[in-house]
Amino acid sequence: VPLQNIHLVARWLGTLEKVLEQNSLGSHADYRVFMSAEPAPSPEAHIIPQGLLENAIKITNEPPTGMYANLHKALDLFTQDTLEMCSKEIEFKCIFFALCYFHAVVAERRKFGTQGWNRPYPFNNGDLTISINVLYNYLEANPKVPWDDLRYLFGEIMYGGHITDDWDRRLCRTYLSEYIHAEMLEGEVYLAPGFLIPPSLDYKGYHEYVDNNLPPESPYLYGLHPNAEIGFLTVTSDGLFRTVLEMQPKESDAGGGSGASREEKAILEEIIERLPEPFNMGEIMAKAGDKTPYVVVAFQECERMNTLTDEIRSSLKELDLGLKGELTITSDMEELANALFYDNVPESWTRYAYPSLLSLGAWYADLLLRIRELEVWTMDFVLPATVWLAGFFNPQSFLTAIMQSTARKNEWPLDKMCLSVEVTKKNREDITAPPREGSYVHGLFMEGARWDIPSGVIADARLKELTPMMPVIFIRAIPVDRMDTKNVYECPVYKTRMRGPTYVWTFNLKTKEKAAKWILAAVALLLQ
């Protein structure tokens, strides 16, 4: 139902409830009413009257979960006739099965959250049935199998048409280049560890092949590391516990300043007490002298930090007066008090802050560290020996400043430059002075794999080490034509595990294995 017509439906549902009540007595023994509805997108759309819901037998149609159910469901969209319709039967059946597996993988990969896809997409059965029709038409129309055309149509149009994120598009393309290629006709090609593309079978044979040969459900079936499952289960249970916590009643406010408001008052006082004074922008500007690209970044960061700390200070002082009874409590103050009580970062603060998934206590400790870094840097404007990249509101501006200062020094055009990323063998403590040009950065973590320090390449993650820390990274600017693109994985850098909109930059990291492995494993660098 379109949302603008929802009030009409709500009225009609009330009428329906009365009609059902009138017909429930004295009607035929087999009289039944069936209603079907989709999940409501928002609480305002919960309009089915309670009486109707209470009297109904409720049946939900859940989408299948796991590769086994998804693969069978994909095969169920077709019949024996489908398998017999193409004149190039061997090629058709081979690609047909790989497409069914691909469809099941992209649909079920969603359950791994942002490690699955950066954004959720509405892949549906139509994508698969139309792709199989396209496959049939192209095989009939061409003497040879047009592999590139097929991959392009499936990856960029049929499935890719849903995809809005460039990294997700790369992932979709990579799946297809791994599953659909000329070698699959010649012999043993694996769709997943231990799962070969089946030989030419009939329709029933394919179902039986899945029953007998598909390995047990695990992230390996999707090209992911088992840690991906630990990650998404942890996020799910965190969400569950937070919901339970928020359902707990707060003590009643009748007793004049209850336990809850006492607790909030203690948190509030502690935050204000530890909050440093704002940066004196006039003094900092006078100290800086020359406006180098790095100095400009420092100014911008200090200004943004002042905006954030001003908001924290003023909102807490206002709430303090409210709790003392000197001001009327507004809805904003109430939201702030609730956030303090539940250890959440208040909405009014995150508006001026940076993406973060930390709870309030950890977030505030992190904020104080960021302020400390800026204080040290603005004391004499000497670049720290190694820079905490995650400490910036806008890490991109610092990375751009590296390019700008090199461009000025060497008189190179900025648009013909890029960043060279070299992972050192050192930790933050081992670095005592900044490099002659560029910068050392620290505080990055890898998700989906780990960095092997002795061999200096990406390696398989160790079990239960979800985000191992990276060594110090040396970043400098070089002309684009000197960029080494052989044996590298183009690794996205994100501010948080939310990925998607928190994208910062792309770092080229060395790899001995082919990049496709790390693309399917969703390997990324995180700043938190």
Give the pLDDT confidence of 169-212 residue by residue, as tens digits.
999 999 999 999 999 988 788 999 999 999 999 999 999 999 99
Residues 76 and 220 in one domain: yes
Residues 24 and 47 in one domain: yes
Among 466, 494, 517, CA closest to 389: 494
Q: What is the pLDDT of residue 49?
A: 87
- How far is it, in rounded angstroms, from Cα 170 to Cα 413? 29
Q: How far is CA 383 from CA 97, 152, 473, in A?
A: 57, 47, 15
Which of the two residues, 137 and 262, has the higher pLDDT score? 137
DSSP letter string over 358-414? --HHHHHHHHHHHHHHHHHHHHH-PPPSEEEGGG-S-HHHHHHHHHHHHHHHHT--G
Residues 91 and 166 in one domain: yes
- How far is it, in rounded angstroms, from Cα 454 to Cα 452? 6
- Give the pLDDT mean for 451-476: 95
Q: Is residue 234 part of a domain?
A: no
Q: Which domain holds residue 371?
A: 260-382
Residues 24 and 72 in one domain: no
Q: Is residue 237 part of a domain?
A: no
Residues 267 and 162 in one domain: no
At 318-331, the pLDDT tens digits run 999 998 889 898 98
Q: What is the pLDDT of residue 291?
A: 86
Tell which of 176, 204, 227 closes a domain.
Answer: 227
Q: Is residue 449 part of a domain?
A: yes
What number of other Cβ atoms are within 10 A of residue 265's Cβ? 17
Q: Is residue 248 part of a domain?
A: no
CATH number of domain containing 192: 1.10.8.720
Q: Is residue 255 part of a domain?
A: no
Phi, psi of 2 (to 5 degrees): -60, 140
- Helix then strand count (H, E) for the chain reads 18, 12
pTM: 0.86
Task: For residue 255, name the pLDDT band (cuts at 50, 70, 90).
Answer: very low
| Dihedral of alpha carbons 285, 288, 293, 299, sign | negative
Task: For residue 1, name the pLDDT band (cuts at 50, 70, 90).
Answer: very low
Among 374, 360, 371, 373, CA closest to 316: 360
At 265-276, the pLDDT tens digits run 889 999 999 999
Residues 375 and 390 in one domain: no
Tell which of 352, 382, 412 closes a domain.
Answer: 382
- How far is it, in rounded angstroms, from Cα 94 to Cα 101? 11
Tell which of 186, 210, 227 closes a domain.
Answer: 227
Total number of domains constituting the chain: 4
Q: Is residue 242 part of a domain?
A: no
Residues 154 and 14 in one domain: no
At 31-68, the pLDDT tens digits run 888 988 877 777 777 888 888 888 888 888 777 789 99
